């Protein structure tokens, strides 16, 4: 990926059954391909717009496959012979979501993918295994013996060029290329070190490492399913870290005709994200993977098993998470998530009505049924039909109860905060009355959004198997769940003072 990033690459690309010259441009936020049509061989726009994938070969013979392509621009040429009344294109520009670099042609919609490797910027902090150290108590004699024994094994014995002092340093890499392995329902997950080093010289040497995830599938998949699994796992890791992450590395394993798998680079177009200067401490993580492997395994398996039913609410949540967008649109989206959560996640779908309310409901229904048909009659009968069903406030309070029942935290007056959140949502959707000026009292408005985020994330993680046994929320913990709990009563007081 790094060899092509922020570079322009020339090649030949196949489109609409023909081969064309093209220029592939890669950046973090864009994958752009410009196709140049040969003089005298123009093609109408409509035949070029339909390609969802484009394959090609770069000048260095690397095969490329662009996926999820859309046409974003054209350079027209008018007046060609026999072209009237059409506009013919001399260049067409495409944007792609992914580009795959390989040594052989790849067909993305065929099940040929066996696994993937990927890394995130904070992966080394997420998996806080100890595989590097320094030997503190060493002296000249022990270092000399260590070198001598190593030289003896390879047939050397000469230390004459070495200079020894009384303050030697011995830095250790334990050789743990694989930090842990976890069997999942969908395959096998390995957490790995990726160590690079330079040869020692009089200038010193470097020893660097990044941690990656290797996911090997139990069956071959098409590319769309691979990226779906990647995004699902990445989202869980982001919640454990408390930070949105962009892919730092992405490789995909492809099976050849002999049944062997080769890894090829993939570049994904990503939204521009401001770099965070915040350091993630090991204690901030929701799960300390190195000592809670069983819980981590349970979380991943349950997270994947819930994906199909939870994909709609998760999609809305992760379109908000990490962006810092405290707007009315975000409030509406986060509120509506609780309606998108599967019904079986709630303690029933009905609320008990008192006898007098039930009697009034039946009486009103009879009165409106006898009226002539009208939009007002239909609207009222629908409203009466919903009476007794759990509304949005009931659903959010149900989700909070999961948090309290699990023993994570018990927040006083949380029901009032939930009511404020839904009232604000209803105002921005339907208009009418509002509890306070949401623009003038911006911090209190942000508190309502944070409440919805906290309840949604904490309740789902608890249901998926998060026990928080090694996690403590406090003012020194900067995970967003901890910051919400630690500042809750300060924010609650501000909200309650609005009505005084």
pLDDT of 385: 62
pLDDT band at 386 (very low <50, low <70, confident <90, very high): low
pLDDT band at 126 (very low <50, low <70, confident <90, very high): very high
pLDDT band at 381 (very low <50, low <70, confident <90, very high): low
pLDDT for 78 beyond 60: no
pLDDT for 295 beyond 80: yes
HEC secondary structure over the chain: CCCCCCCEEEEEEEECCEEEEEEEEECCCCEEEEEECCCCCCEEHHHHCCCCEEEEEECCCCEEEEECCEEEEEEEECCCCCCCCCCEEEEEEEECCEEEEECCCCCCCCCCEEEEEEECCCHHHHCCCCCEEEECCCCHHHHHHHHHHHHHHCCCCCCCCCCCCCCCCEEEECCCCEEEEEECCCEEEEEEEEEEECCCECCECCEEEEEEEEEEEEEEECHHHHHHHHHHHHHHHHHHHCCCCCCCEEEEEEECCCCCEEEEEEEECCCCCCCCCCCCCHHHCCCCCCCCHHHHHHHHHHHHHCHHHHHHHHHHHHHHCCCCCCCHHHHHHHHHHHHHCCHHHCCCCECCCCHHHHHHHHHHHHHHHCCCCCHHHHHHHHHHHHECECCHHHHHHHHHHHHHHHCCCCCCCHHHHHHHHHHHHHHHHHCCCCCCCCCCCHHHHHHHHHHHHHHHHHHHHHHHCCCCCCCCCCCCCCCHHHHHHHCHHHHHHHHHHCCC
pLDDT of 438: 92
Domain ranges of the chain: 8-102, 113-131+174-284, 311-349+390-497, 355-386
Which whole number is the average pLDDT over 384-411?
A: 86
pLDDT of 59: 92
pLDDT of 86: 43
Which whole number is the average pLDDT over 189-201?
A: 93
Which whole number is the average pLDDT over 29-35?
A: 91
Average per-residue pLDDT in the chain? Answer: 87
pLDDT for 251 beyond 80: yes
CA distance 486 to 498: 21
Least confident of 112-116, 124-128, 373-377, 434-438: 373-377
Least confident of 84-88, 218-222, 331-335, 376-380: 84-88
pLDDT for 148 beyond 70: yes
Is domain 8-102 in CATH 2.40.10, yes or no?
yes
pLDDT for 85 beyond 60: no
Taking the CA atoms of 490, 491, 494 and 499 in sequence, report the sign of the dihedral they define.
negative
> Who has greater pLDDT, 250 or 147?
250
pLDDT for 350 beyond 80: no
pLDDT of 278: 65
């Amino acid at each position: 990926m790094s060899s092509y990033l922020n570079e322009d690459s020339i090649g030949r690309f196949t489109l609409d059954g023909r081969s064309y010259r093209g220029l592939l441009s890669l950046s973090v936020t864009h994958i752009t391909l410009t196709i140049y049509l040969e003089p005298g061989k123009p093609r109408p726009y409509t035949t070029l717009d339909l390609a969802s994938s484009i394959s090609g070969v770069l000048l260095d013979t690397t095969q490329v496959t662009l996926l999820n392509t859309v046409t974003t621009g054209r350079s027209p040429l008018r007046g060609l012979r026999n072209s009237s009344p059409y506009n013919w294109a001399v260049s067409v520009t495409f944007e792609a979501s992914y580009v795959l670099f390989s040594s052989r042609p790849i067909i993305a919609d065929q099940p040929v993918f066996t696994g993937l490797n990927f890394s995130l910027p904070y992966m080394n902090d997420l998996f806080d295994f100890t595989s590097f150290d320094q030997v503190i108590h060493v002296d000249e004699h022990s270092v000399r013996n260590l070198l001598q024994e190593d030289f003896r094994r390879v047939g050397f014995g000469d230390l004459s060029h070495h200079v020894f002092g009384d303050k030697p340093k011995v830095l250790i890499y334990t050789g743990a290329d694989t930090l842990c392995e976890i069997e999942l329902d969908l395959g096998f997950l390995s957490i790995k070190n990726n160590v690079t080093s330079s040869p020692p010289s009089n200038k010193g040497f470097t020893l660097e490492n990044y941690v990656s995830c290797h996911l090997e599938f139990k069956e071959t998949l098409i590319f769309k399913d691979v990226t779906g699994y990647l995004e699902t796992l990445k989202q869980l890791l982001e919640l454990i870290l408390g930070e949105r992450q962009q892919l730092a590395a992405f490789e995909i394993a492809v099976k050849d005709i002999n049944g062997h798998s080769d890894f090829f680079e993939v570049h994904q177009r990503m939204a521009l994200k401001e770099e965070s200067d915040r350091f993630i401490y090991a204690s901030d993580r929701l799960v300390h993977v190195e000592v809670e492997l069983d819980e981590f395994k349970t979380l991943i398996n349950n997270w994947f098993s819930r994906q199909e039913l939870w994909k709609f609410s998760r999609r809305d949540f992760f379109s908000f998470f990490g962006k810092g967008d405290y707007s009315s649109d975000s409030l509406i989206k986060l509120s509506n998530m609780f309606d998108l959560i599967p019904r079986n996640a709630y303690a029933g779908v009905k609320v008990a009505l008192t006898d007098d309310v039930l009697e009034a409901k039946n009486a009103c229904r009879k009165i409106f049924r006898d009226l002539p048909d009208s939009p007002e009659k239909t609207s009222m009968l629908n409203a009466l039909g919903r009476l007794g069903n759990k509304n949005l406030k009931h659903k959010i309070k149900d989700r909070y109860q999961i948090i309290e029942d699990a023993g994570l935290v018990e927040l006083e007056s949380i029901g009032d905060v939930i009511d404020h959140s839904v009232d604000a949502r209803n105002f921005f959707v339907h208009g009418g009355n509002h509890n306070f000026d949401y623009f003038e009292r911006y911090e209190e408005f942000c508190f309502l959004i944070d409440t919805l985020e906290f309840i949604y994330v904490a309740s789902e993680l608890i249901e998926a198997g998060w026990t928080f046994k090694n996690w403590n929320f406090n003012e020194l913990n900067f995970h967003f769940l901890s910051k919400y709990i630690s500042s809750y009563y300060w924010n609650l007081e501000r909200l309650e003072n609005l009505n005084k």
